[in-house]
Amino acid sequence: MIIRSKAPLRLGLAGGGTDVSPYSDLFGGAILNATISLYAYTTIEPTDDGKITFQMPDKGISETYDTTLALPTDGQFILHKGVYNRIVKDFIHKPLSFRLSTYVDAPAGSGLGTSSTLVVSILGAFVEWFKLPLGEYDTAQLAYQIERSDLAMAGGKQDQYAATFGGFNFMEFFDKDKVIVNPLRVRQQFQDELAHNLLLFYTQTSRQSAKIIEAQAKNVIDKNQTSIEAMHHLKEQAIWMKECILKGETDKMGEILNFGWTYKKQMTQNITNPLLDEIYKTAIDAGASGGKVSGAGGGGFMSFYCPGISRYAVEAALQKFGGQAKRYEFTQEGLKTWTQN
């Protein structure tokens, strides 16, 4: 028997950072994101050899342990172990023996929610294996708890829900980890136009998002008004973006993205740097009407709205930075699991 799962990565389109505590707890957050045709994959092969093996075939690394109720959360497979420990603790109550392999279509630190999406994918495979009674909200919330509470990794709340639900979603965040996911009915022609015009560019850099997020949280705790006001504006941006996408007013995207970029940089230091600023300016000079850095900032992917046929000129202008434009489509489905006997 082979158990498989895949969960889509996401593009954060507006409101980024307002899903992070304590801002979301104090003021409420709002995010608009959409999943794309890049995925985190998981395969579980049950065994009877009393071993637990984790593998990343693309990186050529693996770790093997004697089966146990709880694995040490260190090494290369922290996320994998965190999911295993929680599954055994909450549902199975006995050691398991298996081989688990994962693969992600984008590198870690790229700003597309890779870590959280991988947790959702791994969790989904275990849910499929044992037919656990978890709905979409249950799965996303458990993935969030594993990453943020069990493993003490800093971050927001949007990625786990995006990966689980899929599609275009307007998400609202409240105190005590309450999340409401509002799926948006976006016409296919608007999705196609947006995918054509929204250039996704990998800067060939990565970043430690946890440090940026921790600094952002500290600014809220310290009542840094510049940072807090910037987050208020980003929440407004999410509402503005929702209206734009639902009405199909795609050529307003650049203006909305540029509005968000202006305030995103005021949330905390290290969201941008001289390289990212130069990339942004180069894209605008070549015809883009606005853009943003993906995720917490500091590196990874950037996206630029390129009206008309300007994406080709923008793509050519960005070649000098040695990065790569990534083709994608928007997806409607979130986490998918299946079993091959």
> Mind listing the pLDDT tens digit of every residue in the chain (341 residues)?
999 999 999 999 999 889 988 898 889 999 999 999 999 999 999 999 999 999 999 889 999 999 999 999 998 999 999 999 999 999 999 999 999 999 999 988 788 999 999 999 999 999 999 999 999 999 999 999 999 999 999 888 999 999 999 999 999 998 777 899 999 999 999 999 999 999 999 988 765 566 777 777 788 888 889 999 999 999 999 999 999 999 999 889 999 999 999 998 888 777 788 889 999 999 999 999 999 998 755 678 999 999 999 999 999 999 999 989 999 999 999 999 999 98
**Are 81 and 97 part of one and the same domain?**
yes
> In b/e form, how buried is each residue of 194-216, taking b as 16+ CB within 10 angstroms?
bbebbbbbbbebbbebeebbbbb
**Are 131 and 180 part of one and the same domain?**
yes
Q: Which whole-number Å values give the CA distances from 198 to 93, 127, 175, 266, in the listed order?
A: 47, 35, 33, 24
Q: What is the Cα–Cα distance from 256 to 245, expressed in whole angstroms?
A: 11
- The model's pLDDT over 99-140, given as tens digits with 9 standing for 90+, comes to 999 999 998 878 899 999 999 999 999 999 999 999 999 999
- Catalytic positions, written as ranges: 159
Last residue of a domain, one of 158, 186, 214: 186
- The model's pLDDT over 37-60, given as tens digits with 9 standing for 90+, comes to 999 999 999 999 999 999 999 889
Cross-strand pairs, 4: 43, 338
Q: What is the Cα–Cα distance from 251 to 101, expressed in whole angstroms?
A: 42
pLDDT value of position 273: 86
**Are 159 and 308 part of one and the same domain?**
no
- Residue carrying structure tokens 């005021």: 266
The number of folded domains in the chain is: 2
**Are 154 and 225 part of one and the same domain?**
no
**Are 153 and 267 part of one and the same domain?**
no
**Are 208 and 114 part of one and the same domain?**
no
Q: What is the Cα–Cα distance from 167 to 334, expressed in whole angstroms?
A: 7
Assigned domain for 74 exists: yes
In sequence order, what E strands does the chain have?
A: 2-14, 29-46, 51-56, 61-66, 98-104, 168-173, 179-183, 198-202, 290-293, 301-305, 324-326, 336-340
Tokens matching residue 223: 């009542």
Last residue of a domain, one of 153, 186, 219: 186
Q: What is the Cα–Cα distance from 266 to 268, expressed in whole angstroms?
A: 6
pTM above 0.75, yes or no: yes
Assigned domain for 336 exists: no
Last residue of a domain, one of 169, 186, 203: 186
**Are 199 and 175 part of one and the same domain?**
no
Pair 100, 126: CB distance under 8 Å: no
Residue numbers of the domain that contains 254: 188-326
Assigned domain for 333 exists: no
Q: What is the DSSP letter of 330?
A: B
